Amino acid sequence: MNSYCVFERLRAAGLRPTRQRVALCNLIFGSGDRHLSAEELYAEAHRAGEPVSLATVYNTLHQFTDVGIIRPLTGEGQRTYFDTNTSDHHHFFIEEENQMIDIPGEGLRLHQLPEPPEGMEIVNVDVVVRLRRKAAAPAA
Amino acid sequence: MNSYCVFERLRAAGLRPTRQRVALCNLIFGSGDRHLSAEELYAEAHRAGEPVSLATVYNTLHQFTDVGIIRPLTGEGQRTYFDTNTSDHHHFFIEEENQMIDIPGEGLRLHQLPEPPEGMEIVNVDVVVRLRRKAAAPAA
DNA sequence: TTTTATGCAAAACATTTGCAAACCG
DNA sequence: CGGTTTGCAAATGTTTTGCATAAAA
């Protein structure tokens, strides 16, 4: 979470620790697991006084994805979200709020994985549990 | 699959069977379960000599979604795909080809569903099994 | 100095919207 | 007719690209 850590994380990934990348990396990993879009990260950077360009935010998110330190979220919105938690886990999706929430590790278990088609292998499995707000109980 | 069926399907859904809707409905449901995007359906309609506008294709897909005869696919591309199979089933996703394939019903089983957060209820569960072509065995 | 990254503005897409004209019942 | 639906074209929102400038090694 401190800068060294970020420096090393970037170096280890083979990315030059430029000012922008360090700043974005700090924002991304500075507060636990998160889900964020390019636009959000861009806004955050500017709020934090780091004037990166939107194009750089996109580039950076893709570079981070390529080296595996974040991963894109499977969802159906038009906007792409990235997850800072690259370990195997799944998500709730609240449609009305367009919000993704992590499902705690033990919450869901896959019992049987399907046989992939000939010549294919499974990379990973994403589960999205779509949620809706329960109809409020009628006030008495 | 013939026109009556489509007429009735549309009426049952409370949609006026206009020429365009009937044509699109025939294309969508004319050949078994499919996954298609607005752009693809638009191209197909034109190939079939039914000159609908792209806007109408979008409108129609959304109307059909609203009345529940098709459903949007959970995926991570920028383009939205729709599935003519609205029953509970899951998908393989081949990244290199950007292609979704149905997983046969028995192929995957969820063992334990997570407890939704307070005040929420589960609408449905989408599982995407990401696939990759196996590395070819090195030629001897 | 050489390579690589950044920023800007413009391009490329996918999708939505507003409104007049056409269509369904 | 009267309310819907359509089609067009323009607007919107997101993501990508090209290229000159700036920064890292």
In tens, the pLDDT along A49-71 reads 998 999 999 999 999 999 999 99
CATH fold of the domain at A3-131 = Arc Repressor Mutant, subunit A (1.10.10)
pLDDT at position B140 over 70: no
Query: Residue A71, CB, less than 7 Å from strand D?
Result: no
% residues pLDDT > 70 (chain B): 93
pLDDT band at B139 (very low <50, low <70, confident <90, very high): low
pLDDT value, residue A109:
81
Pairing of strands A99-103, A109-112: unpaired
Backbone angles phi, psi at B107, to 5 degrees: -70, -25
- The mean of the pLDDT values for chain A is 87
pLDDT value, residue B65:
93
Residue ranges covered by each domain of chain B: 3-131
Q: Do A92 and B114 touch (CB under 8 A)?
A: yes
Alpha carbons within 13 A on the beta-carbon side of B16: 3
CB A63 within 8 A of CB A10: no
Across A83-92, b (16+ Cβ under 10 Å) vs e yields: bbeeeebbbb
Give A21 CA → D20 C1' in Å: 21
Query: Residue A17, CB, less than 7 Å from strand D?
Result: yes
User: E-assigned strands of A3-138?
Assistant: 35-37, 71-72, 81-83, 90-94, 99-103, 109-112, 120-133
Q: DSSP letter string over A115-128?
A: PPPTTEEEEEEEEE
Which segment of A101-105, A115-119, B74-78, B115-119 scores lowest on mean pLDDT? Answer: B74-78
List of chain B residues whose C-beta atoms are within 8 Å of the C-beta of residue A127: 110, 125-128
pLDDT at position A3 over 60: no
pLDDT band at B107 (very low <50, low <70, confident <90, very high): confident
* B47 vs B27: CA distance, rounded Å: 11
* A91 vs A87: CA distance, rounded Å: 12
* B87 vs B95: CA distance, rounded Å: 24
A14 Rama class: left (phi>0) / alpha (psi -120 to 50) / beta: left
* B66 vs B13: CA distance, rounded Å: 9
Residue the block writes with tokens 């969508």: B28
List of chain B residues whose C-beta atoms are within 8 Å of the C-beta of residue A72: 76
Sheet with A90-94, strands from edge to edge, namely: A99-103, A90-94, A120-133, B120-133, B90-94, B99-103
pLDDT value, residue A105:
76
pLDDT at position B60 over 90: yes
* A98 vs A95: CA distance, rounded Å: 5
Distance from CA of B111 to the nearest CA of A (A): 5
Q: Model confidence over A26-55: pLDDT tens digits?
A: 999 988 889 999 999 999 999 999 989 999
- The mean of the pLDDT values for chain B is 87
Nucleotide nearest to A39 (CA to C1'): D14
Any chain A CB within 8 A of the CB of B134?
yes
User: E-assigned strands of chain B?
Assistant: 35-37, 71-72, 81-83, 90-94, 99-103, 109-112, 120-133
* B10 vs A41: CA distance, rounded Å: 44
pLDDT value, residue B22:
92
% residues pLDDT > 90 (chain A): 48
Which segment of A2-6, B19-23, B32-36, B121-125 scores lowest on mean pLDDT? Answer: A2-6
List of chain B residues whose C-beta atoms are within 8 Å of the C-beta of residue A78: 78, 80
pLDDT value, residue A119:
92
Binding positions of A for Fe cation are 89
Q: Which helix (H) or strand (E) holds B79?
A: none
Q: Model confidence over B17-26: pLDDT tens digits?
A: 999 999 999 9
* A60 vs A70: CA distance, rounded Å: 11
Give A33 CA → C5 C1' in Å: 27
Binding positions of A are 89
Give A76 CA → C14 C1' in Å: 13
pLDDT band at B36 (very low <50, low <70, confident <90, very high): very high
Q: Chain B residue with minimal CA distance to A96? A: B120
Q: Model confidence over A68-116: pLDDT tens digits?
A: 999 999 876 788 999 999 888 999 998 877 788 899 877 788 888 898 9
List of chain A residues whose C-beta atoms are within 8 Å of the C-beta of residue B134: 119-121
Backbone angles phi, psi at A15, to 5 degrees: -110, 135
Q: Which residues contact A111 (CB under 8 A, 6 or more apart)?
A: B109, B110, B111
